[in-house]
């Protein structure tokens, strides 16, 4: 039988400004460890600490621009574009533009505070 998900769980976000994370599938909302799916909304000027996650992250930007720093450079991912960050690679996400960004993030295995490995 399929699993119906009536609504997401709101997750506390890291960073310098409030960011909304609604987890539909993952460790919190469905007790799923194999993958997580979250709807993110971050304000303009938001930046989070760098991280070296123990999961792959697939991100589709719906609105605005997501700035992704990585060892060796940075990319701007705009609405209608996507990015894959790979486990073990250092990355830092931000939304420096005034409009912020709205995006969907899928993590394999599921995101957890213990496996994101944020910078101190």
**Residue-range domains of the chain with CATH:** 10-108 (2.60.120.10)
Q: List CB contacts of 88: < 8 A, sequence separation 6 or more.
A: 52, 53, 54
End-to-end CA distance of the chain: 43
In this predicted structure, what is the pLDDT of residue 76? 98
In the numeric block, the tokens 């496996």 are attached to 115
Q: How far apart are CA 13 and CA 40, in angstroms?
A: 10
What are the distances in angstroms from CA 106 to CA 5, 37, 39, 56, 92? 16, 5, 9, 8, 16
- pLDDT on residue 105: 98
Per-residue pLDDT in tens (0 to 9) along the chain, 120 residues: 999 999 999 998 999 999 999 999 999 999 999 999 999 999 999 999 999 999 999 999 999 999 999 999 999 999 999 999 999 999 999 999 999 999 999 999 999 999 999 998
Judging by DSSP bridges, how do beta strands 91-95 and 82-85 pair with one another? unpaired
d(CA 66, CA 64): 7
In the prediction, which pLDDT does 120 show?
87
Cut 0.85: pTM above it: yes
Round to whole Å and give the CA distance between 49 and 28: 22
How much is the CA Rg of the chain, to the nearest whole Å? Answer: 14
């Amino acid at each position: 039988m399929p699993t119906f998900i009536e609504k997401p769980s709101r997750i506390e976000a890291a960073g310098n400004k409030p960011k909304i994370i609604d987890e539909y599938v993952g460790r919190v909302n469905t007790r799923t460890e194999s993958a997580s799916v979250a709807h993110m909304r971050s304000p303009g000027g938001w930046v989070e600490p760098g991280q070296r996650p123990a999961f792959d992250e697939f991100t589709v930007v719906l609105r605005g621009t997501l700035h992704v720093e990585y060892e060796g450079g940075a990319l701007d991912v705009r609405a209608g574009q996507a990015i894959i960050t790979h486990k073990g690679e250092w990355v830092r996400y931000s939304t420096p533009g005034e409009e912020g960004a709205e995006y969907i993030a899928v993590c394999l295995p599921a995101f957890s505070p213990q496996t994101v490995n944020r910078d101190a």
